[in-house]
Amino acid sequence: MSRIRTKTIDGKPHTRVAYTASCTGCFEGGDYMGLAHNYPYDAKAQCYVGMGCQECGYSGKRRHVFWMSLEDLEASRERE
């Protein structure tokens, strides 16, 4: 069984993209992450952990999930 999740939207194949990021509600990164040293870093999620708020469920980080067309995904990889 493949762990890659795909579905068709408007006749085009899309894949599920997910990542974890610092919560925008409780992490005060300041301009250019100037205050990041005040917060612990989560190596597994590869982000800084905020103090916790209702937006993130008091975890200090948020999980972002969206569907991206495979054409756009391949184009973004070519740019790297």
Say if pTM beats, i.e. exceeds, 0.95.
no
Residue 65: give the domain boundaries.
17-79
pLDDT score of 1: 41
pLDDT score of 32: 61
Number of structural domains in the chain: 1
Examine the pLDDT at 34 and tell me if it is beyond 70. no
In a domain, 43, yes or no: yes
In a domain, 3, yes or no: no
In a domain, 8, yes or no: no
In a domain, 11, yes or no: no
> What Rg do the C-alpha atoms of the chain give, in angstroms?
16
Poorest-pLDDT segment among 6-20, 21-35, 59-73: 21-35
pLDDT score of 31: 66
In a domain, 65, yes or no: yes
pLDDT score of 30: 67
In a domain, 1, yes or no: no
